[in-house]
Amino acid sequence: MTIAADTSILARRENTSGRLSDFFWRNPKILLLLMLTPPLLWLGVIYLGSLFALLLQSFFSIDDFSGLINYEFTLATYRQLLIPSNFDIILRTVVMAVLVTLASAVIAFPIAYYAARYARGKWKVIFYLGVMLPLWSSYLVKVYAWKLILAKEGIVTWALAKLNLLWVLDAWLSLPVVGGTSLSISYTGTFIVFIYVWMPFMILPIQAALERVPGNLIEASADLGGHPAQTFRYVLFPLALPGIIAGSIFTFSLTLGDYIIPQIIGSSRLFIGQAVYAQQGTAGNIPLAAAFTVVPIVIMGLYLWMAKRQGAFDAL
């Protein structure tokens, strides 16, 4: 090969850019290295570097008296995660993330199914933009919209009053756990806003999975006597599952790490994100904050591993 390269048909290029170009053509590895160095420096050094530095700090502890960080390897900070008040935070966040993911799947499925199987031409575009616009529009504006909606003097109370259904709202709010003095300071409110903000991330992967289901498969199921519910249970749902899992990666991860929604719409009980924010900010306990961030990382690691085994990444 080297001989062929040295006695190439074309004359060598004389100008600098030509010579450089020939050099890269003969040494693709060097070109690859040049292309990869800037992004790898940025992501590998700045991003991963800070990430590892943070994780390292979770193995340090904080001195209770001086408030200074004690740079000795210890698992004491992780033990603190298990004390009831901290463990409650983790449990609460995970339960919320699971519920939000399930509810998002239920709401997203009909939209995705309609868009994949029935929407054609103009309607296809309407459905696509109808999902993309809310998905990409401002996160804070979406949260703000729900502050307006769920406020005591807002549209929900107004609509229920018009329908003479205010007693339903009052009964719901008087329930333990999910209730509160108003919707905007209850778990119910937090739950609704989480669904609203993260559900669009569920639609597109489910739609992508459903696009690949041939329509005659559904018909075959019907022809063989399958009731629509059975068709859904045994044909449609298993085929859509990789899409649902792919979408749930987003809803689950985003809910786990969010600290703004529960702060603005919710009771005063903390979620993981808020705990991290409070520990690194006012409390100045970086090791505990770092240990708290390890929880979503580990959960997401397990989740991604499981999703990969289910083939969810093909649906992304």
Partner 1 sequence: MRSDRNNAAPLGLKIAAGAGLAFLHLPILLIFLYAFTTEEKSYQFPPPGYTLQWFAVTWNRPDVWAAMGLSVRVAAISTAIALVLGTLCAAAVSQTKFFGRETISLLVILPIALPGIITGIALRSAFSFAEIPFSFWTIVLGHATFCVVVVYNNAVARFRRVSGSLIEASMDLGADGFQTFRYIILPNIGTALLAGGMLAFALSFDEVIVTTFTAGQQSTLPIWMLEELVRPRQRPVTNVVAMVVVLLTFLPILGAYYLTRDGDQVAGGGK
Rounded least distance, CB 89 to partner 1, Å: 14
By beta-carbon proximity to partner 1, the closer residue of 106 and 177 is: 106
Rounded least distance, CB 176 to partner 1, Å: 27
The amino acid that residue 316 corresponds to is: L
By beta-carbon proximity to partner 1, the closer residue of 129 and 168 is: 129
Determine the length of the chain. Answer: 316
By beta-carbon proximity to partner 1, the closer residue of 52 and 234 is: 52
Site for partner 1 in 63-102 (CB under 8 A): none
Alpha carbon distances (Å) from 136 to 4, 44, 94, 130: 53, 27, 25, 11
Nearest CA to 139 among 258, 15, 32?
258
Q: Kind of pairing, strands 61-62 and 69-70?
A: antiparallel
By beta-carbon proximity to partner 1, the closer residue of 114 and 177 is: 114
Residue from 92, 147, 173, 226 touching partner 1 (CB under 8 A): that is 147
Residue from 80, 188, 207, 231 touching partner 1 (CB under 8 A): that is 207
Rounded least distance, CB 107 to partner 1, Å: 5
Site for partner 1 in 109-128 (CB under 8 A): 110-111, 113-118, 120, 125, 127-128
Residue 314 binding partner 1, by CB under 8 A: no
By beta-carbon proximity to partner 1, the closer residue of 164 and 177 is: 164
- Please give the size of the binding site for partner 1, defined by CB under 8 A: 102
Rounded least distance, CB 103 to partner 1, Å: 11
Residue 18 binding partner 1, by CB under 8 A: yes
Residue from 8, 25, 165, 302 touching partner 1 (CB under 8 A): that is 25
By beta-carbon proximity to partner 1, the closer residue of 43 and 177 is: 43
Residue 220 binding partner 1, by CB under 8 A: no
**Stretches 48-56, 81-89, 172-180, 237-245: which one binds partner 1 (CB under 8 A)?**
48-56
Residue 32 binding partner 1, by CB under 8 A: yes
Site for partner 1 in 227-286 (CB under 8 A): 228, 249, 253-254, 256-260, 263-264, 273, 276-277, 280, 286
